[in-house]
Structure 1
């Protein structure tokens, strides 16, 4: 049998578009099928022909439900993929919400671009449609944590809780000859909503994310003080606070934080509007008794999801009405990096006003509107127009639920096997390079920063032994 190989088809040289192709003889397994976001050079790859005929892929294995890990699935199905998509129960539930929302937004954006003539595609088309998502969902098969799943031909997969978002997992793919462990997105050691991550069984080859491979998360004595101060100051001047937040997990964490601050008197009681259909649907999943086992045992979900001053805006009419709000308010809307969704309309409305504040609560990938705001942009292009940025822009790094550099190193140290090679993915160049250097300096292990399109053999060298 030919050697097992791993091909990096995404999240190599960038922090989005995770796609890793494992080849075992004639079997092809794709770990994650993420959509590219951020810089145009990467986004354009969503439209490029897939490097492998999707009809020749046997299975897709998902680590979690964020768009940059599952958002390309309907395109694969549209172009011929007919196999199974394997995911934990939480990932399956959230992926349905994420994919339906992505298709809806793409169809609406295509219609808008066609109407106003700013698309370079003629005609303007979505990457996939809601019909494609419905077909994709028929391929999803649910799996349990910490249970080996037989994919046939001697290939097994095992999902271990990663503590990043509900349902997130590290995935170990193994045969009699080899094993490859994919970290997925690793959660922080102290996620405010979810149970702590577990450590998966080790493997000769490890693929690890590096989103925050070059930095540490702040852990101040008084958490989120910049966030609280920004809300207090904005309310005092009669403005509105806009919080672009990832619909899955981040909205829950933001609401929990706001609720605690109100209870402690750190911020005033003002109306809070959750303006994201996807976030509202995700909130219902987090509240579901079916998923309570994934939440922290000391957490009372109703304490922050049932706040009396929280208002849902499920339809377009109630969303538009927010533009006519009088007085201070907090608006939470997706997407977290301002790449699409209802938050764009709020940015158009609020960025020109000096009384208003935009608070960024997570990682802002290069090439996104969120990154432009973070870097001090004076104007922002929205729906074909340039909007002046006069509002205050605040970044609160404490909200991130990605492992920082020390978390990633701790995750590696806790593995029960010294890997032959660690492949570093899902990070911008400096972050990946920093983690590479730290692995060498502190662990003495062999690691490599993955390159797009690179193919590596993932079978242990004869005589290789764990010398821990």
Structure 2
């Protein structure tokens, strides 16, 4: 069995790992590149392996940087089965068509406004392409062993990152060698998700390192949000929270409504302006047994949030000036309806923009939390006068200490650890932490490198 790193190396995006023997090829994750332009261009490069020769895909979770290239893969000839957990399947039914729709909209907008260097901008894939890809999905339960192809046995265990997220355990039944992919790992004490389940065996481990070089800020997110919302409302401003549609939007809704119910912040209208996040919230509430929130707490979110579904309602909301809390995708301000809110709210110092977690280099979110005086949206530069906050303590990724704690809780003694899904410095620092703390052989692979398992 061989492992080739087709993405997710030296960056936190574009996760793609190819497992193969002399008969079959299995792709673990099929993510789209996001962030800086040099990374986004990789989405348009020919796939490193002919998609027609890939027999199956196995997904760790639903986020676009792990699933977003699937419609393009199918468009190029992939005809195998795509395996994932049941909640990941439900979420992909929302995320993938939405991603295709947004790309089509962005292409049309770029053509209409003439800010693309291409005469006729084209999307990487369409909403129709996404629905076609969904025909190849097959969902599985956690801890259920299955064979995506003969000779490869796969099991999912909870990773605690978002609803449906999993560590992927792959055993080659002929050689009895096991490689485990951590996927994105959650926190040890997350507000809404349970911690990742410890793992007991892996000959080879592929481990993420998003926060490999840092710890999360030791701040109380409830107090921070209380101060931000109260002060913003006091000066007549709007609080805008760019949020990932899956996981972060639900956490923010829960916190805001909890603070209002406790009388710690003024009662304000709360809007969720993202069709994708709305549907993800409905899925989150249906699967309440897979996370910390009870059905009653889910109902608190549902009953007290104004769900902004139509384009007309979104346009109307963008034009309103009264104090409110608006949660809108995307989490790094890379696309979606949040961009229209930013154009309206950024120039006014009474407003606040609250980011909640990691901002990939090159994204608008990264620029704003690092003090940019203006950001480019839809071909124009907009001044950043609003108050910018980043509640890093709300991140859904475990920091390096939490990842090490997770590794120590199992009975692991891997022969090798490949550190991926982190910026170059973060991945290398995580490698050092693993070597020094656990005594394991750890290394950071090169993009497109192939190793023997």
TM-score (norm 2): 0.97
Counterpart-to-counterpart distance in 2, 1:89 and 1:21: 23
Counterpart residue number, 1:304 = 300
Does the Cα contact within 8 Å between 1:224 and 1:398 map onto a contact in 2? no
| Higher alpha-carbon deviation: 320-329 or 43-52 | 320-329
CA contact (8 A) 2:26 2:58 kept: yes
Q: Is the 8 A contact 1:7 1:22 kept in 2?
A: yes
Maintained 8 Å contact 2:215/2:400: yes
CA deviation vs aligned residue, 1:306-348 (integer Å, no higher than 9, x gap) = 343x211100000000123242111100000000000000000
Aligned partner of 1:279 in structure 2 is 277
Contact 1:107 1:129 in 2 (8 A): yes
2:134 paired with 1:137: yes
- Equivalent position SS for 1:181: strand
In the other structure, the counterpart of 1:371 is: 366
Distance change (3 Å), C-alpha of 1:113 and 1:364: same
Matched residue SS, 1:188:
coil
Aligned to 1:228: 226
Separation in 2 of the partners of 1:210 and 1:442?
15
Q: Secondary structure at the match of 1:268?
A: coil
1:294 paired to 2:290: yes
Displacement of 1:264 in angstroms is 2.4
What's the secondary structure of 1:341's corresponding residue? Answer: coil
Match of 1:262 in 2: 260
1:338 is aligned to: 333
Distance in 2 (CA, whole Å) between partners of 1:424 and 1:378 is 35
Deviations 1:120-178 (A, max 9, x none): 33421000011111110110011110111022322110000111111100001111311
The offset of 1:238, in angstroms, is 0.4
Tell me which residue corresponds to 1:237.
235
Alpha-carbon distance in structure 2 between the residues aligned to 1:95 and 1:391 = 34
SS of match in other structure, 2:30 = coil
Residue 345 (structure 2) pairs with residue 350 (structure 1):
yes
2:171 corresponds to which residue? Answer: 174
Distance change in 2, residues 1:198/1:299 (3 Å): farther
Residue among 48, 53, 57 paired with 2:54: 57
1:440 aligns with 2:419: no
SS of residue matched to 2:258: helix
Instruction: Point out where structure 1 has 5 or more consecutive residues left out of the alignment.
Output: 459-468
C-alpha distance in structure 2 between counterparts of 1:281 and 1:299, whole Å: 17
Aligned to 1:465: none
1:318 is matched with 313
2:243 and 2:328 in contact (8 A); partners too: yes
Instruction: Verify: 1:73 aligned to 2:70, yes or no.
Output: yes
Match status 1:105 vs 2:102: yes
Report the CA distance between 1:260 and its aligned residue.
1.6
Q: Secondary structure at the match of 1:348?
A: helix
Corresponding position of 1:248: 246
SS of the equivalent of 1:225 reads helix
Q: 1:328 maps to which residue?
A: 323
Alignment partners' CA distance in 1, 2:35 and 2:371: 17
TM superposition score normalised by structure 1: 0.94
Could you give the per-residue CA deviations for residues 10-57 of structure 1, whole angstroms, max 9, x where no partner exists? 110100000001111121110000010001111100010001000000
Provide the rounded CA distance (Å) in 1 between the counterparts of 2:60 and 2:24: 20
Mapped partners of 1:445, 1:451: distance in 2: 19
Q: CA deviation at 1:271?
A: 0.8
Residue pair 1:255, 1:304 contacting (<8 A) in 2 also: no
Range moving further from structure 2, 195-204 or 47-56: 195-204
- Counterparts of 1:201 and 1:277 in 2: how far apart (Å)? 39
Q: Deviations over 1:396-416 (max 9, x none)?
A: 112111111111112222332
The alpha carbon displacement at 1:218 in A equals 3.1
Work out the CA distance in 2 between the residues paired with 1:301 and 1:91: 22
What is the aligned counterpart of 2:90 among 90, 93, 109? 93
Alignment of 1:348-427 (within 5 A): 348-427=343-422
Counterparts of 1:145 and 1:349, CA distance in 2: 44
CA contact (8 A) 1:238 1:328 kept: yes
TM-superposed CA distance for 1:108, in Å, is 0.5
1:6, 1:23 within 8 Å by CA — same for their partners in 2?
A: yes
- The total of aligned residue pairs comes to 451
Structure 1 CA distance for aligned equivalents of residues 292 and 308 of structure 2: 28
CA contact (8 A) 2:288 2:294 kept: no
- 1:40 maps to which residue? 37
SS of the residue aligned with 1:32? Answer: strand
